[in-house]
Amino acid sequence: MAKSVLGSDPLARMKARSPKLIDEVAGERPGNEAPEAEGLPAEIFERAVDDRIATFERRIKAKLNRFDSEIEEEIGQARNLDPTLERRLGEALHRIEGRFQKLGSLVGELEEEERQGLLESIIAFGDAFERAFRLDTYRHYLNNFGMRDRNYDVDEFGVEVDAHASIQPLVEFLFHKWWRVEVEGIENIPDEGAALLVANHAGVLPYDGAMITYAVEHLHPARRRARFLAEDWSAEIPFATSLVTRLGGVRGSRENAERILRAGELVTVFPEGVKGSGKYYHERYRLQRFGRGGFVRMCLETGAAIIPVAVLGAEEAHPVLYKVNWLANLLRVPFFPVSPTFPLLGPLGLIPLPAKWTIVFGEPITLEKHGPTDGTNDFLVSQLKERVRNAIQQMLNERLAERRSTWLG
């Protein structure tokens, strides 16, 4: 009998559970009768256990080899990786392999009854070990943590009323004290009816969507709500999906936007998408391509007006100086930004810089002379898309020419 560093009997707790023999378990199943013999022949049982253990060992070795290869590939792509980190990763993998070899030796020395009881525990542990090497495991637990204490008192678009109210003090502080947001042209938003707010995008995190929503809710005479579309990749970030949904964001899709517009509500979209939020600092306030004009087709089909929106200040909230592509691939996000404060200052680097913000709502671009069928006219869609883009770029250029300081406005 093998000895354990934790005591003379490594299976004491397992013995207390009194595992059933294979023939006993089979005999309890409906429609099955226990075999005439008291148990399986020892050589057959031993061969079955050895086969299961060998299969488990092959799975673990394959997982270790694949994980080792992935780590080596990511390390090879990194330019300035600390050699000490590479050495420690190699040592950790070597220790894991050694412990599994020791586990195999221990199992081989156990008696038949003990081996049978231990087999299921080994397989279960192997499954847990494999899950531990998948980032999806951690995303799952973190997202579930973000859903704790969820209140299911929501409106028809999934906004959780209590959560929305609880975050307002923070948003109010950012709006009035931290960024000192100035708003122009709020009267261009209609008091009722559907409208699409089309804005430039920057800042890594969707602060611009939150500030536009706050401005419309608190400064517009009708106190309307403008729901913003969140980018699909945010679903890969722990907490992001549940947090955005609970606070009023809607996952970006044409179906979601159309449903809100047909209900006569406001929707904020950022046609630049990831290209806008990930712009380098030296590219700030240079609008990226507006995709294929899906937002124009949507307005043509629903009859919603288009309101161009220019946001100044978000580009300096989290200035992107560099992107770590290999880490972005590992985390499965579009980009991993390096700013003057992140990741140098750790979690503190997530605090946005206190730039002075200005939000300008331009004059509505109505599509009354066009009909729903014009959405199939690619030339018209392209013209309207560029018209909106040029309107936003012009507003940005005008306000930038008037701005004296990034921090004071």
Q: Which residue has the higher pLDDT, 305 or 119?
A: 305
**pLDDT, tens only, 6-39:** 333 433 433 444 444 434 433 443 444 434 444 5
Closest by alpha carbon to 190, among 324, 338, 307?
307
Q: Contact, 63 vs 129, CB < 8 A?
A: yes
Query: How many angstroms separate the CA atoms of 93 and 91, rounded?
Result: 5
Percent of the chain whose pLDDT exceeds 70: 60
Mean pLDDT of 291-297: 90
Q: Which residue has the higher pLDDT, 371 or 21?
A: 371
Where residue 346 falls among pLDDT bands split at 50, 70, 90? confident
- Mean per-residue pLDDT, 157-174: 78
Residue ranges and CATH numbers for the domains of the chain are: 12-133 (no CATH), 153-402 (3.40.1130)
Its pTM stands at 0.63
The Cα 271–Cα 235 span in angstroms is 18
Asked which of 50-64, 276-290, 325-339 is least confident by mean pLDDT, the reply is 50-64
> Is the pLDDT score of 302 beyond 70?
yes
SS3 label, residue 305: strand
* The dihedral sign for the CA sequence 258, 259, 263, 268: negative
Nearest to 24 by CA among 15, 33, 16, 11: 33
**23-27, 283-287, 354-358, 395-399: the lowest-pLDDT one:** 23-27
- Residue 247 CA to residue 350 CA, distance in Å, equals 19
pLDDT tens readout for residues 125-136? 656 655 555 555
How far apart are alpha carbons 318 and 314 in whole angstroms?
A: 7
Q: Which residues contact 359 (CB under 8 A, 6 or more apart)?
A: 181, 182, 183, 184, 211, 212, 215, 309, 310, 311, 312
Check pLDDT > 70 for residue 404: yes
- Kindly tell me if the per-residue pLDDT of 330 is higher than 80: no
- Residue 239 CB-density burial (10 A; 0-12 exposed, 13-18 middle, 19+ buried): middle
Is 90 exceeded by the pLDDT of residue 138? no
Nearest Cα neighbor of 171 from 134, 133, 218, 126 is: 218
What pLDDT does 391 receive? 96
Residues linked to residue 197 through DSSP beta bridges, in sequence order: 268, 307
Q: What is the pLDDT of residue 341?
A: 86
250-251 β-sheet, strand order: 182-184, 358-361, 305-312, 195-199, 266-269, 226-230, 250-251
How much is the average pLDDT of 157-176?
Answer: 80
